[in-house]
Amino acid sequence: MKNNSRRGFMGKAFGAVGAVGAVASLYAMKKSWDPLPSVKAAGFTTLDMSNYNENEVITEKWRGKPIFVLKYTSEMAASLDEKQKERTIVINGSHYMVNLGLCTHLGCIPSYDKNDKSFLCACHGGMYDFTGAVTKAPPPRGLDIPPFKIQGNTLVLGEEGPEYKSMKENGITL
Amino acid sequence: MAHFTKATSIKDWLNQRLAIDKVEKVMASEYWIPKNINFLWAMGMVLVITFALLLVSGIFLLMYYQPNVDTAFDSVNYTIMREVDFGWLWRHVHGVAASVVFLIIYIHMFTAIYYGSYKKGREMIWISGMLLFIAFSAEAFSGYMLPWGQMSYWAGMVITNLFSGGSLHADGLVEWIRGDYVPAQAFLNRFFMLHVLLVPLAIIGLIGLHFGALRIPHVNNQDGEEIDFEAESKKYLAGDKTGSKVIRFANDFMSKDMMVVGFYLIFFFYLVFYHYGFAMDPVNFDPADGLKTPEHIYPEWYFLWSYEILRPFSTDIGLMAFAFAQVIFLALPFLDRSDNAIPASRRGLFKFWFWAMLIDMITLTAMGKVPPIEPFGTIGLIAALTFIGLWIALPIITYYEKKA
């Protein structure tokens, strides 16, 4: 009886030590899989917005992801409705679409049709208009807008400026 | 300490220390297999052989493969394919076996479904088998990343994005799995680890469990007959080999098994030498490029059916349907409410359920391969709904099934 209670205590003591160790090692394992600081630090891209041609999608790179930059023609800018305007970035009087070039469905890269002025994702058939708003399912929402800050004629990706914050508050992007 | 005597032979020496005679009996010569089975019962051995082929070819690939985003593509497509003597052989064996193993797994699965080999004490065989299917899927996916071609990269992107859970937007989880915002060095390295160590360890453990689960209920037979293995084996050992319903696993049953394996290997090496292209997607011969999606992304043929269940719906419903498809087969022994462990052909409505499920999965596979245009989109949607409907119908039709 005495022996049994002693063994029982030893078992419980080991269980407690083991449980603490297991939780601690799970935490260490979780943290070891996190993105490295060097990966997180390389997170800013500066774009000179005067370099873009109208109605031509240029793919820039930010955090390893493609960023679509599209300068609107004057007809495109004139045709914008309220919703489309909210998605548009205006710099020095020119209108731009600056979106993450990854389909919000499962992350394929949509392609731009110059004549139709729309994006088509070949993976699952999703479509977006030239402002990145979704026009055909399965994508659940328009193309995401990366955090940006307008500095004169340049755009810094990865920093949150007032225009980006208001877009986020209005639910235009995630 | 046990009493040891001077050994009379090497065998006796080993017997005193390892009881090899007894082990041989338990594992082979007195492990009893029913006589009333057909070639479909050889698929287990075919899978063992295929796994061995994957392991051996994998070991040789591992000696030259480099898990680095800058060198991975060339280490496969230049070093292994052009420089290493017979490197092409290991790669083609590995690629073809990775594809064919799923064909055999599906045959093995549908054999079990047809003959009711997942019930009356055989539930753990089925469950461990489905866990093996999941482990093999993880192994196939992680291996698909390694050549770091366009399909590797974009399959990695799309599949890891599934973990964002649609509207849940668990982007943090996705970045945690990748170790980066996009698939990059950390991603390639950890999937390399999963492919060559962690998942194979899990597979080997599960194979042990799968075999262990067979010991008590024994192998099923063509009529689902409940055999008294004790009595039948006694009959066999007493000399009545004709009257007994069972035979020894080795060498008797094994000789049949290996005959099927022989035919299989001829087919397998025909594919390896003359028809390996089906396992080597041409798009994956372009190096990974994070800024260019291939025109049409599709998984390997063995994932097409579940991919097609994802595709016709909006993101959230699609993900739920996909998750349903991934786990529902595990529940088969419990969703089948009938006690009849007999071939589907003698089971009333279940007969139609079986063939409808098989045809539906083949349809889903075909629709998953073609681009998402009409009429394929509609056919895919109907097939996906049929899949879900069949699983909802299963408990109902089997509940009302007549006792055989």
CB-nearest partner of A65 from B181, B297, B377: B181
pLDDT tens digits for range A11-62:
999 999 999 999 999 999 999 999 998 888 777 888 888 888 888 888 888 8
The answer to whether the CB atoms of B186 and A64 lie below 8 A apart is no
Looking at residue B181, the DSSP 8-state letter turns out to be S
Q: Which residues of B touch A (CB under 8 A)?
A: 154, 157-158, 161-162, 166-167, 169, 175-182, 184, 186, 190, 290-297, 311, 313-316, 318, 371-373, 377
A·B CB contacts under 8 A: 84
Mutate to test the interface with A, among B293, B295, B316, B320 (most CBs of A within 10 A): B293
The answer to whether the CB atoms of B179 and A35 lie below 8 A apart is yes
Per-residue pLDDT tens, chain A, 174 aa: give them: 556 788 889 999 999 999 999 999 999 999 999 999 888 877 788 888 888 888 888 888 888 888 899 888 888 877 878 788 788 888 888 888 888 888 888 778 888 888 888 888 888 888 898 888 888 878 888 888 888 888 888 888 888 888 888 787 777 777
Per-residue pLDDT tens, chain B, 404 aa: give them: 688 999 999 999 999 999 999 999 999 999 999 999 999 999 999 999 999 999 999 999 999 999 999 999 999 999 999 999 999 999 999 999 999 999 999 999 999 999 999 998 999 999 999 999 999 999 999 999 999 999 999 999 989 988 988 778 788 899 999 998 889 999 999 999 999 999 999 999 999 999 999 999 999 999 999 999 999 999 999 999 999 999 999 889 999 999 999 999 999 999 999 999 999 999 999 999 888 878 777 889 999 999 899 888 877 898 899 989 989 999 999 999 998 889 999 999 999 999 999 999 999 999 988 877 788 889 999 999 999 999 999 999 999 988 77
pTM of this prediction? 0.86
For chain B, which residues make up each domain, given as ranges? Answer: 27-297, 300-404
Q: Is B169 left (phi over 0), alpha (psi -120 to 50) or beta?
A: left
In one-letter notation, the amino acid at residue A84 is: Q
**Rounded to an integer, what distance in angstroms lies between the CA atom of residue A95 and that of residue B29?**
81
**Rounded to an integer, what distance in angstroms lies between the CA atom of residue A174 and that of residue B40?**
53
CA nearest to B184, candidates A30, A35, A67: A35
Contacts of A139 in chain B (CB under 8 A): 315
| CB proximity A95 to B under 8 Å | no
CB B356 within 8 A of CB B390: yes
Second CATH level (architecture) for the domain B27-297: Up-down Bundle (1.20)
Q: CATH for A39-169?
A: 2.102.10.10
